[in-house]
Amino acid sequence: MSVAWPIVALGDLLRRSGRTIALHPEAIYREVTVRMNGKGVVERRQVQGVEIASARRYQASAGQFIISRIDARNGASGLIPDELNGAVVTNDFPLFNVAKDRLAPAFLQWMSKTASFVDLCKRASEGTTNRVRLSEDRFKTLEIALPPLDEQLRIVGRIEKLAAKVGDARALRSAASDEVLALSRAATDKIYGRLRSEIGVSHLDAACTSITDGDHLTPTFSESGVMFIFVGNVSTSQLHFNGVKYVTPQYFRKLSTTRVPRRGDVLYSAVGATLGIPAVVDVDDDFCFQRHVAILKPDRSRTLPRFLWHMLKSKTVFDKAWASTTGSAQPTIPLRAIRELPIPLPSIDKQTQVVAELDALQSTLDSVNAVQVETTAELDAMLPAILDKAFKGQL
C-alpha cells in the first residue's frame, strides 16, 4: 500500500455494535450469512422466532460491516445491504459501525475483497484445525493504510467503473456460453427425436444398475483426505475439481457402493440453476459428492456412458427434468423423477454411431468453450488486479 497514506488501526475506524432485540415466537425474522471469497452478504433464511434457539439476537443495520468469525480467513466479510436492514445475526457474525467521517463504507467494502485484507484476517484468526476463529481483539489492532476521505471516494468511483466493465464482459461471455449450450442441445435433440420415433423410449432406470444421490448427512470437512465435490463441479458438463473440500477416509468408507463414483458413471446436477446437467466420471481418483448431485451407474451391457451423457443433454430430456422440479427458491428434481426421465435405448452398435456423430460436434463446441474458459480466467484475475492497484494508491 502507498506509504503516503497514514496507517490506522481498524479499532479506530470500526466500533462493535451491541444492539440486540428480543425475539417474538410468532414473528418472522431474516437471518444473515456471509459468503466466502468476497461474494457478499446475503439472506440465509426467513424463520419464525420460535425456531431460533435464543431469546435475543443481534440486529443488523444497512451499511454496517459484518465479518464471520469462522470464515474471516476465507474472505467472508462485507457490508449489510439495504435489503437486509433489520435482519438478525448470531455472535458468530460481529457487526461494526463504520466511522464514516474517516472511512467510506464503500471503500471498506472493496478493501475487504482484497488478498491483503484477507491475509490480515488470517493473522487475526487463531485456534486449531477446524476451530480457527477470528479474534476480535486482534482484528481491531490490525492496521490499514487510509487515504483522505475524498481520495477514498475517488478510488471507489474508479473501481466501480472498472468493475462495471468487467461485469459487462462477464455477461457477454455468459451469453456466448448459453448459445453454445443451446446449439449442443438442439443437435442432440434432433438425434433424440429420430431415435424416439424409431424405437421409442424407456425410463432412465432401465439404462442403469442404480440411480441414487449423495449422502444426506452433512459431512465434517477436513484439511485433507478424500475430495468432496458440489453441484458446481459438474455444471459445465465436464467433471472438474476446482474448489473442492475434503472429508476423512473414515467418512468415505461408510458410503454405500452405489454412492461411490467410478470411471464411466454419470453425475447429474439435481438442483438450482445448473439442474439437468450431466458429467461423465473420467478419473480413477476417489471422491464423493453433496446430496444434490445424483449418480447414475449405467448398465454397461445396455448403455454406453457417453451415449447416456449425450441423451441427458437433449432439450427434450432437459425440459422434462425442469417440468418435474419441486420448490421455487431452489428448484430440485426428485430422485424418483430422475429415474423416470425418458431415454431411447438402441443397440450398442447404434449407440456407438450416435456417440461418434455427437462427439464430432462436441469437439467443435469444446474448442469454443476452451477459448471461453481462457477469457473467464482472465476476467477472474482482472478485478483482483484492479483492487490490488487501487489499495496501493496506483489507480
Digit-by-digit pLDDT tens for the chain (395 residues) are 445 899 999 999 999 999 999 999 999 999 999 999 888 899 988 989 888 888 999 999 999 999 999 999 999 999 999 999 999 999 999 999 999 999 999 999 999 999 999 999 999 987 765 578 899 999 999 999 999 999 999 999 999 898 888 888 777 777 766 777 777 778 888 999 999 999 999 999 999 999 999 888 778 888 899 999 999 999 888 899 988 999 999 999 999 999 999 999 999 999 988 899 999 999 999 999 998 999 999 999 999 999 999 999 998 999 999 999 987 678 999 999 999 999 999 999 999 999 998 988 877 777 666 666 666 667 677 778 888 888 887 87
pLDDT at residue 191, as a whole number = 93
Residue 2 is predicted with a pLDDT of 46
Kindly give, in sequence order, each residue whose CB lies less than 8 Å from that of residue 41, ignoring residues fewer than 6 positions away. 32, 33, 34, 35, 66, 78, 79, 80, 81, 84
Q: Is residue 109 classed as helix, strand or coil in its secondary structure?
A: helix
State which H helix or E strand residue 268 sits in: strand 266-269
Q: What secondary structure letter does DSSP report for 130?
A: T
| Statement: 201-343 belongs to CATH 3.90.220.20 | yes
Domains of the chain, by residue range, sit at 7-144, 147-183+353-395, 201-343
Q: What is the pLDDT of residue 223?
A: 87
| Strand-pair partners of 59 | 88
pLDDT for res 1? 44
Residues 64 and 92 sit within 8 Å (Cβ to Cβ): no
Q: Cβ distance 32 to 64 under 8 Å?
A: no
Longest dimension (CA), the chain: 76
Report d(CA 145, CA 137) in Å as an integer: 19
All three cell numbers of 253, joined, read: 468408507
Asked if 324 and 270 count as a contact pair (C-beta separation under 8 A), the reply is no
Helix (H, G, I), strand (E, B) or coil at 247: strand
306: CB partners within 8 A, 6+ apart: 280, 355, 359
First to last CA, the chain: 12
Let me know: does 225 contact 247? Beta carbons within 8 Å.
yes
7-144 and 201-343 have identical folds:
yes
Report how far residue 254's alpha carbon sits from residue 202's, in angstroms, rounded to the nearest whole number. 33
pTM of the model: 0.58
Please give the pLDDT value at position 30. 93
Which of the 8 DSSP states describes residue 77?
E
Please tell me whether residue 378 adopts helix, strand or coil conformation: helix
- Reference 204, options 30, 360, 374, 345; nearest CA is 345
Architecture of domain 7-144: Alpha-Beta Complex (3.90)
Cα–Cα distance measured from residue 304 to residue 306, given in angstroms and rounded to the nearest whole number: 5
Query: Which grid cell sits at 165?
Result: 466493465
**Per-residue pLDDT at 379:** 67
